[in-house]
Amino acid sequence: MLKVGLTGGIGAGKSEVSRRLVAYGAVLIDSDRIAREVVEPGTPGLAAVVEEFGPDVLTADGTLNRPALGAIVFADPDRRAALNAIVHPLVGARAAELEREAGADAVVVHDVPLLAENALAPFYDLVVVVDASPETQLDRLVNVRGMTESDARARMAAQATREERLAVADLTVDNDGPLEALEPQVRGVWEELLRRAAATTR
């Protein structure tokens, strides 16, 4: 098994790269998706979040009010750390379970938005960083995702810098340009992952 950490700043296009790697045959473990699962209604994770942040982070139907929680944690690093202390161990346990199910010869791509922030690079055989300039990130967040500029800047500021992400990269995908420039790079990354996976089984 080859364990790959895939990361990139918000708006860099990491999800598009992961989708294309799956099309080539990668097994994707999506930390964001797992993070949503572990705080669904009835889970110990949601109970712990409500205990820490109070009932105002719930909607009327008992689900997590993500905008309300986001407004708290993105404005306060200490509150963000408190949330991470609840969610990250649950995500890690579920990711490990999915990894075991993938099979010994799989190329397993862990989509981890906060890989650089949480110093997780040593846990993977290699790290792929999807890179885009802060200007490109901001443009996509505002004009594609519909965020306000202040919200987009706050989300970006809560993440590692571009330089910090690139410092942990073994392979880099430049996604500053148009989509058609992405495919040849992803294909090259996949070929390199297959080469490294083969080398680990020899």
CA distances for 142 relative to 7, 39, 65, 91, 182, angstroms: 21, 27, 22, 29, 21
The CA distance from 142 to 91, in Å, is 29
User: Would you list which residues are annotated within the binding site for ATP?
Assistant: 11-16
pLDDT of residue 201: 65
Residue that the structure tokens 């205990």 belong to: 51
Q: If 0-12 CB within 10 Å is exposed, 13-18 middle and 19+ buried, where does residue 100 land?
A: exposed
Please state the φ and ψ torsions of residue 118, each to the nearest 5 degrees: -100, 15
Local confidence pLDDT in tens for the 202 residues of the chain = 999 999 999 999 999 999 999 999 999 999 889 999 999 999 999 999 999 999 999 999 999 999 999 889 988 889 999 999 999 899 989 998 999 999 888 999 999 988 999 899 999 999 999 999 999 999 999 999 999 999 899 889 989 999 999 999 999 999 998 888 999 999 999 999 999 998 876 5
Per-residue pLDDT at 179: 81
Please tell me the predicted confidence (pLDDT) of residue 119: 92
pTM of the model: 0.83
CATH 3.40.50.300 domain extents, the chain: 1-26+106-201
Look at residue 202 in the predicted model and tell me its pLDDT: 59
The CATH architecture one would assign to domain 1-26+106-201 is 3-Layer(aba) Sandwich (3.40)
Specify binding-site residues: 11-16
Predicted local confidence at residue 194, as pLDDT: 95
